[in-house]
Amino acid sequence: MPIFNLMEDFHSKKVVEDLKSYWGVKVENVSGDDQTITMEIDKRIVCLSFIKLFQKMT
């Protein structure tokens, strides 16, 4: 399953790999980084974005 990085972002390459290997979907036209990624799955545009909802307390 996709691995998330200490509530800062997600690993876009791992998300795409997981969609292909575990779920067996065809992923095309991948673009983005570990904050926001767009791709095409079954002729549908999919966008994933990490939205920080709170500030870390130090």
Sign of CA dihedral 17, 20, 6, 50: positive
Element (H, E) at 45: strand 44-49
**What is residue 3's predicted lDDT score, i.e. its pLDDT?**
57
DSSP state of 19: H
Structure confidence by residue, pLDDT tens digits, 18-43: 899 999 999 999 999 988 999 999 99
Domain borders along the chain are 4-49
User: Is the per-residue pLDDT at 13 higher than 80?
Assistant: yes
**What number of CA atoms fall less than 13 Å from residue 9's CA on the CB side?**
10
**What is residue 16's predicted lDDT score, i.e. its pLDDT?**
92
